Amino acid sequence: MMTQSISAMFEALRQKLGPQVQSVRADREDEVYVLLRDADIRPITEHLRGEFGARLVTVFAEDRCSAEGVFFNYYVFEQKGSAQYLIVQAPVRSDTLEFPSLSAELPSANWQEREIQDWFGLKAVGHPNPRRVALHDNWPDVYPLRKDFPLETVLPPFEGERHIYRPAFGEGVLQVPVGPVHAGIIEPGHFNFAVAGEPILYLQLRMFYTHKGTEKLFEKIPIHKAVFLAESISGDSSFSHGTAFCQAIERAASIEVPLRGLAMRTILLELERICNHVADIGAIATDVGFVIANAHASRLKETLVTLNEQMTGSRQLRGMVCVGGVRRGWDQAQLNTLRDTLDSFAREFRDLISLIDSSESTRDRLEQTGVLRPEKARALGIVGVGGRASGVDLDVRRDHPYAAYPRYSFRVPVYQAGDVWHRMQVRIDEVNESIGIVRNAMPDGLQREFRVPVPSIPSDRCALSAVEGWRGEIIHWIRTGPDNHLQRCKIKDPSLNNWPALVEAVQGNIIADFPVINKSFNLSYSGTDR
């Protein structure tokens, strides 16, 4: 079933592109597939973006050589005001292994096309920077997401050149390497600055130091165990990634989650958002020397993770979501604890924000620091907090409603300034909105049906699932296989979109402000390097 706007789009595509569109199918109401006859996606992309203002959500590949004799690239689009995703499926012939790149005109596709090159060995012809991104320079020539690459493969010792950074030239211009190993417990990532004195001229990033093979692992374990793998994609977004994965399975198998299960998922998703936003607000404060504010924020975060444990048994909300709903219900004592803790938190959070707002020195350090202009944010495809602070009005909860979100009203905060102060302000506003959502979603009474039995998952079903994690848009796309396994699971964490924003935001700032600019985005190394 297609909405009127999508139907109009298809009719326009047929008239514009004619025989290039081989077929159209709507697997479900909000997920429509267009199959092309060849790999050239450029005409349809130009038409969708120019005539309909469509946004490219994600790009990924699938090895279908054994089943259909080709690889497929998938290009997921959305149109403002429509809850439907348009998924364009472009075949890449196994004898050429080439497809036209979109990255020169559409920078948001840059890393994703390069990932396709690294994982599948498909060449993005015309890519402005075709260097490896997911595999490092000294990896052997292997393509780990092809079906003929065994998961158990032991690779030889890596040899050859490591990543070579662009040299810095000019009198007084120096390179300052930071990482890849950092103080504390964060994962590795290499930041290579070119500076003239203190101002930053440019920043070069190198991520993907800890590849875990998550997408390959999904193909080898049963679906009910794969939920736990999904929760490990990014530790501070366990419930969001777990929910995205479960929703994809439920959509593929036409499983209807009970309303109570949907409400409980909504509450836990918002608790995850509140907890991480409060931690980030405190961390931003401490990076400009306001350690008292961070102490209060840390205390509030501890209150929340303690609540998480009381509600789910896990401070990180792990082990609660499952295909068909949630694993355990809540008794009246837990609901009372949730209500009382939230009321106390709301009062103390207001006090924390008043404290931060009273500090002129904090505002002075954060305003006009790390500015990401709205036009640059849109070009790079920035999502989540970083996008909304720079005028990008996107939120999956509103635009593609899931869980129990259609039942509740909330405001999506959007600002235009794009600096650290407004990235923090988005977090503050979202915490307040989340408190309201949780209060509205608290179940009345003790209805017991919070999950449904899960049937055998049918094979060869495709489904796309989206969740607005606390960082931004999370995408999971699956193709089911026989015996309750998966043939493919594509994951896109919002950090994959947003790392390039950091490169833009630091330019012209002093190097001493890099920590707070970086923290204001707070991107996930683990989510990037699945």
d(C-alpha 467, C-alpha 470), whole Å: 9
C-alpha 2: how far from its chain's center?
A: 26
Q: Which residue has the higher pLDDT, 349 or 139?
A: 349
Note whether 101 and 202 are same-domain residues: no
Would you give the DSSP letter of residue 186?
P
DSSP string, 401-414: --TTGGG-------
What count of Cα atoms within 13 Å lies in the side-chain half-sphere of residue 403?
31
pTM: 0.94
Q: Does residue 219 carry a pLDDT above 60?
A: yes
DSSP string, 5-42: HHHHHHHHHHHHHGGGEEEEEEEETTEEEEEESSS--H
Q: Does residue 2 carry a pLDDT above 90?
A: no
Q: Does residue 15 carry a pLDDT above 80?
A: no
Sheet hosting strand 200-206, strand order edge to edge: 173-178, 190-196, 200-206
Q: Decide if 147 contacts 63 (C-beta within 8 A).
A: yes
Within a domain: residue 135? no
CA dihedral over 64, 248, 455, 217, signed as positive or negative: positive
Question: What is the predicted pLDDT for the residue at 160?
Answer: 78
Note whether 272 and 338 are same-domain residues: yes
Q: Decide if 21 contacts 14 (C-beta within 8 A).
A: yes
Question: What is the predicted pLDDT for the residue at 113?
Answer: 97
Calculate the alpha carbon distances from 436 to 102, 405, 479 in Å: 41, 12, 36
Among the listed residues 101, 153, 107, 149, the one whose alpha carbon sits nearest the alpha carbon of residue 122: 101
d(C-alpha 520, C-alpha 522), whole Å: 6
> 120: buried, middle or exposed (CB in 10 Å: 19+, 13-18, 0-12)?
buried
Within a domain: residue 166? no
Note whether 369 and 469 are same-domain residues: yes
pLDDT in tens, 442-468: 877 556 799 999 999 999 999 999 999
Q: Does residue 383 carry a pLDDT above 70?
A: yes
What count of Cα atoms within 13 Å lies in the side-chain half-sphere of residue 218?
26
Residue 238 tokens read as 């366990």
pLDDT in tens, 126-172: 999 999 999 988 888 899 999 999 988 888 888 877 788 888 888 88
Note whether 193 and 103 are same-domain residues: no
Note whether 261 and 382 are same-domain residues: yes
Note whether 238 and 187 are same-domain residues: no
Within a domain: residue 133? no
Last residue within a domain, chosen from 125, 141, 159 = 125
Question: What is the predicted pLDDT for the residue at 446?
Answer: 54
* Domain CATH number, residue 108: 3.30.460.80
Section 308-319 average pLDDT: 96
Within a domain: residue 406? yes
Within a domain: residue 162? no
Percent of the chain whose pLDDT exceeds 90: 80
What are the backbone dihedrals phi and psi of residue 178, each rounded to the nearest 5 degrees, phi first? -130, 120
Q: Does residue 241 carry a pLDDT above 80?
A: yes
Note whether 186 and 254 are same-domain residues: no
Q: Does residue 69 carry a pLDDT above 80?
A: yes
d(C-alpha 388, C-alpha 436), whole Å: 20
Question: What is the predicted pLDDT for the residue at 9?
Answer: 61
Note whether 223 and 362 are same-domain residues: yes
Residue 348 tokens read as 């103390």
Within a domain: residue 393? yes
What are the backbone dihedrals phi and psi of residue 239, each rounded to the nearest 5 degrees, phi first? -70, -35
Note whether 105 and 189 are same-domain residues: no
Q: Decide if 216 contacts 509 (C-beta within 8 A).
A: no
d(C-alpha 489, C-alpha 130), whole Å: 24
Question: What is the predicted pLDDT for the residue at 8?
Answer: 64
Q: What is the mean pLDDT of the chain?
A: 93
Note whether 109 and 178 are same-domain residues: no
Within a domain: residue 49? yes
End-to-end CA distance of the chain: 34
Last residue within a domain, chosen from 68, 91, 125 = 125
pLDDT in tens, 482-509: 999 999 999 999 999 899 999 999 999 9
Note whether 402 and 266 are same-domain residues: yes
Domain carrying residue 202:
173-206
Q: Other C-beta atoms within 10 Å of 336: how many?
A: 11
**Position 5 confidence tier, pLDDT thresholds 50, 70, 90:** low
Among the listed residues 497, 409, 438, the one whose alpha carbon sits nearest the alpha carbon of residue 111: 497
Within a domain: residue 168? no
Question: What is the predicted pLDDT for the residue at 527?
Answer: 93
**Position 530 confidence tier, pLDDT thresholds 50, 70, 90:** confident
What count of Cα atoms within 13 Å lies in the side-chain half-sphere of residue 33?
17
What SS3 state is found at 129?
A: coil
Q: Does residue 420 carry a pLDDT above 90?
A: yes
Note whether 180 and 238 are same-domain residues: no
Question: What is the predicted pLDDT for the residue at 12?
Answer: 67
Number of domains in the chain: 3
* Domain CATH number, residue 510: 1.10.645.10
Residue partners of 274: CB distance under 8 A and separation at least 6: 304, 345, 431, 434, 435, 438
d(C-alpha 77, C-alpha 71), whole Å: 20
Q: Does residue 3 carry a pLDDT above 60?
A: no
Q: Decide if 396 contacts 468 (C-beta within 8 A).
A: yes
Section 69-82 average pLDDT: 94
Residue 98 forms beta bridges with which residues?
123
Residue partners of 268: CB distance under 8 A and separation at least 6: 239, 311, 312, 317, 320, 321, 326
